[in-house]
Amino acid sequence: MKLSKTEEELMNHLWGLKKAFMKDLLEEYAEPKPAATTISTLLKRMADKKFVGYETKGNMREYYPLVSKDSYFSNHINGLIKNFFNDSPGQFASFFTKKTDLSSAELEELKALIEKQLDQKK
Amino acid sequence: MKLSKTEEELMNHLWGLKKAFMKDLLEEYAEPKPAATTISTLLKRMADKKFVGYETKGNMREYYPLVSKDSYFSNHINGLIKNFFNDSPGQFASFFTKKTDLSSAELEELKALIEKQLDQKK
DNA sequence: AAACTTATTCTACATTTGTAGAAGGTAATA
DNA sequence: TATTACCTTCTACAAATGTAGAATAAGTTT
């Protein structure tokens, strides 16, 4: 099961807030905000799909993610890589660094990260 | 406008072949292959969306991509980055290298690539 | 207790997506 | 030229998606 595009957007807000009432989530949206019922519908669908859980507090619910952003993304990206880059993360990585505009600072940071990973491999 | 998941899959085959008749595309699929009409429907929708063009040859068409895989992906990835990583490619990159399992060789390659990019920035 | 606020569920509906049969066209072939 | 092989378009339809009004429920305030 997967989230749709708009559900992903909402999920992302929820990841940011960690825990939130419907009202809080609605606030995250830029104008023009969607109708509150729209958010509710999405939350219900996401709860049905087991992507969010909630605790009932009075007449409302405090929602929280049931999957971490990290694990959600690993799948997501791996699917992408599988589909478009012959299942080769390396191919994807090189495409990525070539096609996105990273600043020098970001490149340095990334380089350091890679060196650290190389170290750990030994 | 965007391609749907299945359209993307078909597009990916087309990128691989560069030019192809419906028959050729159908062959790319693993068993159980979809119905030929299904592929035709998708091709028509993709043509309507201006993602593929074609040359008529007799009673059939030779299809070809109207957008390169590279540019399609830049958008795709940038959307992803915008949505989930605060619009920060660096954040995404570090997430990526941490979460995917790159081999030492791939890491080395990536490091070299980054160094080259750093050089060019000067 | 009445009125108000706010959230949730039900219902609804237009679009998009995934699939494919039926019908109709052209080129090659028997 | 009748048949065969393919292809494309038309039509269809179920499921998923994007949105949101109406109805309902439960605290909150007056």
Protein A13 CA to nucleic acid C16 C1', in Å? 25
Mean predicted confidence (pLDDT) in A58-62: 86
Do A82 and A116 lie in one domain? The reply is yes
Do B54 and B85 lie in one domain? The reply is no
Q: Does residue A64 sit in helix, strand or coil?
A: strand
Do B46 and B78 lie in one domain? The reply is no
Q: What is the pLDDT of residue B54?
A: 94
pLDDT at A96 over 90: no
Do A20 and A34 lie in one domain? The reply is yes
Do B60 and B9 lie in one domain? The reply is yes
| Comparison of pLDDT for A100 and B40, the residue scoring more | B40
Relative to beta strand B60-65, strand A60-65 is: unpaired
Distance CA B43, CA B21 (A): 11
Residue of A nearest to B74 (CA): A99
Q: Does residue A56 sit in helix, strand or coil?
A: strand
Protein A70 CA to nucleic acid D23 C1', in Å? 39
Mean predicted confidence (pLDDT) in A38-51: 95
Q: Which of B18-32, B80-94, B104-118 has the highest mean pLDDT?
A: B18-32
Do A83 and A111 lie in one domain? The reply is yes
Give the number of domains in chain B.
2
Do B39 and B15 lie in one domain? The reply is yes
pLDDT at B11 over 90: yes
Backbone region of residue A54 per phi and psi (left: phi > 0; alpha: psi in -120 to 50; beta: other values): beta
> Amino acid identity, residue B3?
L
Do B59 and B90 lie in one domain? The reply is no
Distance CA B3, CA B14 (A): 14
Chain D bases having any atom below 7 Å from a protein CB:
5-12, 16-23, 25-28
Query: Which residue's alpha carbon is at the shortest distance from the C1' of C5?
Result: A59
- Are A110 and B97 in contact by the 8 Å Cβ rule? The answer is yes
Q: Which residue has the tokens 């605790």?
A: A55
Q: What is the pLDDT of residue A8?
A: 94
Do B11 and B61 lie in one domain? The reply is yes
Residue among A90, A72, A100, A103 at smallest CA distance from B111? A90
pLDDT, one tens digit per residue, over B44-55 is 999 999 999 999
Do A12 and A56 lie in one domain? The reply is yes
Do A29 and A46 lie in one domain? The reply is yes
Mean predicted confidence (pLDDT) in B92-115: 84
Question: What range defines the domain where residue A52 resides?
Answer: 5-65
Burial profile B17-47: b = 16 or more Cβ within 10 angstroms, e = fewer:
beebebeebbebeeeeeeeeeebeebbebbe
How would residue A98 be classed by pLDDT, with cut points 50, 70 and 90?
Answer: confident
- The continuous run of DSSP H or E covering A41 comes out as helix A36-48
Q: What is the pLDDT of residue A51?
A: 95
CATH number (domain holding residue A24): 1.10.10.10
Q: Which of A65, A85, A100 is the last residue of a domain?
A: A65
Do B57 and B91 lie in one domain? The reply is no
B73 min Cα distance to partner chain A (Å)? 9
How would residue B8 be classed by pLDDT, with cut points 50, 70 and 90?
Answer: very high
pLDDT at A58 over 80: no
| Comparison of pLDDT for B111 and A100, the residue scoring more | B111
